[in-house]
A and B are shown apart, each in its own frame.
Chain A
Amino acid sequence: MADVSDLDAMTDAVNAGVAELGRLDVIVANAGIHLPGAPAWELDPLDWQRTLDINLTGVWHTIKAGVPHVGDQGGAIVIISSTNGLRGTSNTAHYTASKHAVVGLARTLANELGPRRIRVNTVHPGAVATPMVLNDQTFRRLRPDLDNPTAADAAEVLQARNLLPVPWVEPVDVANAVVFLASDQARYITGTQLVVDAGLTQKTT
């Protein structure tokens, strides 16, 4: 167990893992939080800071702890961002800022680590069927018109935002994208942003 906002703890954990498994080829910076929202001028400073500490600085810590173990054969870094890393939505300024910021981090890292054959990319899921989305608080935010909204009620709203007729993607869809980017099939893909969002960010109608 380690908290990504604690660089020493991350370094120890990664060192222990590499000692046990012998090498490191792929770094997936996935840990993140999505705290309750408010307009940017009403956000709690502690929520703002906690979001940056985990979603941004935590990603940097993860990479800083891992990259020294990646050998001459090269490797791949995949950062899980969000559709909010590409566009902004209301009541998410802390989350949106953190998810945009990791795109910047990835772009700089892609430049810095390219000569070492380490590729760096970001994945941008829309709604994913995880506890971060599938919870009563989110259901109520999506369906303020209902007293006790269910997942099915929330799904109606979410599906209307997507191009494909699904309310959300499954965790495995994000994992599949990560595996592709981490594999040699993506050997010449670096510095890019891969959207896994059922068309959320391209919907025009």
Chain B
Amino acid sequence: MSRRLTGKVALITGAARGIGRAQAVRFAQEGADIVALDLCGPVETVAIPHSTPADLGQTAALVTESGARVHTEIVDVRDLAGVQAATDRGVDRFGGLDVVCATAGITSRGTALELGENAWRTMLDVNLTGVWHTCRAGAAHLIARGAGAMVLTNSIAGLRGLVGVAHYTAAKHGVVGLMRSLANELAPHNVRVNCIHPTNVDTPMIQNDAVRSAFRPDLDRPPTRAEFAEAARNMNMLGVPWVDAEDVANAALFLASDEARYITAVTLPVDAGATQR
């Protein structure tokens, strides 16, 4: 097995499940110690099931099984002081920081005119300001190291306008802007910053009644996984309804590793062709 992150330390938000967990496990398999943060609780205005402390514990167990060390903390990315403190404790424990993965995110639905103030603001707070908080918390540690990589989990909604999620689309486009400014600012410190833009990913964020129903307005009951897949497949160029969390984690691993040492400020789709269809 290659060990592309041997001796490295990675901070990952949204680490309890989904893409964040896949990144934690994949990075651990490549030799990185993991600082795993997650809210492990509900967010107002979000209908889909939330992560739990047991989920984060499961991530920690998987990282440990891979032979790496893990430091977990329950924290809300909207809480700058909390994210900073959790990051600093993890960095203290492992002796530095090399990779920041801003992965925590939420989803909710409504057209731009239907959306309420609370859903709009909560979306920006978590999916845009929360990413900024995470980068802010990690930046000084990467600068101190004199090298590093930030990988911001974005979405095809960071590249295109998706119907029914204006707030999500605005937040994800905003993250691209943040990434581009950060890449300019951190390049002199040998720190790279990139975004990954997945199509639907087979995680709890989409595999729930709320999202499935949005894809199948023709059905008067919650669609099955197969019925959702039929509609989701139409988004993509390749004949798959969604990608796996591991596909996003593999792209993040590449961008975080020295294999991508001269890649910065890019928007890398992992989208089965969705944005070019």
CB distance from B101 to the nearest CB of A (A): 16
Is residue B86 within 8 Å, beta carbon to beta carbon, of the partner chain?
A: no
Q: Which B residues between 158 and 195 are near A, CB-CB below 8 angstroms?
A: 158, 160-167, 169-185
Partner of A60, one of B120, B139, B160, B265: B120
Contact of A99 with B177 at beta-carbon distance under 8 Å, contacts A60-B112, A64-B113, A90-B185 already known: yes
Q: In the bound complex, do residue B113 and residue A68 qualify as a contact, i.e. CB atoms below 8 Å apart?
A: yes
CB distance from B166 to the nearest CB of A (A): 4
Stretch binding the partner chain, chosen from B54-62, B91-99, B121-129: B121-129
Contact of A88 with B184 at beta-carbon distance under 8 Å, contacts A57-B121, A104-B170 already known: yes
Residues of B near A91 (CB, < 8 A) are 181, 185
Q: In the bound complex, do residue B113 and residue A87 qualify as a contact, i.e. CB atoms below 8 Å apart?
A: no
Chain A positions 33 through 67: 1 when the CB is less than 8 Å from some CB of chain B, otherwise 0? 00000011101010011001000110010011001
Residues of B near A43 (CB, < 8 A) are 132, 136
Partner of A41, one of B140, B162, B165, B167: B140
Query: Residue among B167, B180, B181 with the most chain A CB within 10 A?
Result: B181
Chain B positions 113 through 147: 1 when the CB is less than 8 Å from some CB of chain A, otherwise 0? 10001001100100011001001100110000000
CB distance from B148 to the nearest CB of A (A): 12
Q: In the bound complex, do residue A85 and residue B177 qualify as a contact, i.e. CB atoms below 8 Å apart?
A: yes
B187 closest partner in A (C-beta) = A90
Chain B positions 226 through 241: 1 when the CB is less than 8 Å from some CB of chain A, otherwise 0? 0000000000000000
Is residue B111 within 8 Å, beta carbon to beta carbon, of the partner chain?
A: yes
Q: In the bound complex, do residue A93 and residue B132 qualify as a contact, i.e. CB atoms below 8 Å apart?
A: yes
Query: Residue among A40, A49, A91 with the most chain B CB within 10 A?
Result: A40
Is residue B48 within 8 Å, beta carbon to beta carbon, of the partner chain?
A: no
Is residue B46 within 8 Å, beta carbon to beta carbon, of the partner chain?
A: no
Chain A positions 93 through 119: 1 when the CB is less than 8 Å from some CB of chain B, otherwise 0? 100111111111111111110000000
Q: In the bound complex, do residue B161 and residue A88 qualify as a contact, i.e. CB atoms below 8 Å apart?
A: no
Using a Cβ–Cβ cut-off of 8 Å, how many residues does chain A contribute to the interface with B?
43
Contact of A40 with B173 at beta-carbon distance under 8 Å, contacts A7-B117, A90-B181 already known: no
Contact of A88 with B139 at beta-carbon distance under 8 Å, contacts A100-B174, A111-B161, A111-B162 already known: no
Q: In the bound complex, do residue B112 and residue A109 qualify as a contact, i.e. CB atoms below 8 Å apart?
A: yes
CB distance from B171 to the nearest CB of A (A): 7
Residues of B near A56 (CB, < 8 A) are 124, 170, 174
Q: In the bound complex, do residue A97 and residue B166 qualify as a contact, i.e. CB atoms below 8 Å apart?
A: no
Is residue B157 within 8 Å, beta carbon to beta carbon, of the partner chain?
A: yes
Residues of A near B166 (CB, < 8 A) are 60, 104-105, 108-109, 112
Is residue B80 within 8 Å, beta carbon to beta carbon, of the partner chain?
A: yes
Q: In the bound complex, do residue A105 and residue B169 qualify as a contact, i.e. CB atoms below 8 Å apart?
A: yes
CB distance from B210 to the nearest CB of A (A): 18
Is residue A89 within 8 Å, beta carbon to beta carbon, of the partner chain?
A: yes
Chain B positions 218 through 255: 1 when the CB is less than 8 Å from some CB of chain A, otherwise 0? 00000000000000000000000000000000000000
Q: In the bound complex, do residue B178 and residue A40 qualify as a contact, i.e. CB atoms below 8 Å apart?
A: yes
Residues of B near A40 (CB, < 8 A) are 132, 135-136, 139, 178, 181-182, 185
Complex: A48 Cα to B160 Cα, angstroms: 24
Q: In the bound complex, do residue A88 and residue B265 qualify as a contact, i.e. CB atoms below 8 Å apart?
A: yes
B128 closest partner in A (C-beta) = A97
A99 closest partner in B (C-beta) = B177
Q: In the bound complex, do residue A48 and residue B132 qualify as a contact, i.e. CB atoms below 8 Å apart?
A: yes
Is residue A162 within 8 Å, beta carbon to beta carbon, of the partner chain?
A: no
Q: In the bound complex, do residue A101 and residue B129 qualify as a contact, i.e. CB atoms below 8 Å apart?
A: no
Is residue A191 within 8 Å, beta carbon to beta carbon, of the partner chain?
A: yes
CB distance from A84 to the nearest CB of B (A): 7
Chain B positions 16 through 51: 1 when the CB is less than 8 Å from some CB of chain A, otherwise 0? 000000000000000000000000000000000000
8 A-B pairs with C-beta separation under 8 A: A45-B80, A60-B120, A64-B112, A88-B265, A90-B181, A90-B184, A93-B185, A110-B161
Task: List 9 additional A-B contacts (Cβ < 8 Å) besides A40-B181, A112-B166.
Answer: A40-B182, A60-B170, A68-B113, A96-B181, A97-B132, A104-B170, A107-B173, A108-B161, A112-B164
Which residues of B line the A interface, CB within 8 A?
80, 111-113, 117, 120-121, 124, 128-129, 132, 135-136, 139-140, 157-158, 160-167, 169-185, 265
Q: Which 7 A-B pairs have the closest CB atoms?
A: A88-B180, A107-B161, A104-B173, A100-B177, A101-B174, A41-B139, A88-B181
Which residues of A line the B interface, CB within 8 A?
7, 39-41, 43, 45, 48-49, 52, 56-57, 60, 63-64, 67-68, 84-85, 87-93, 96-112, 191
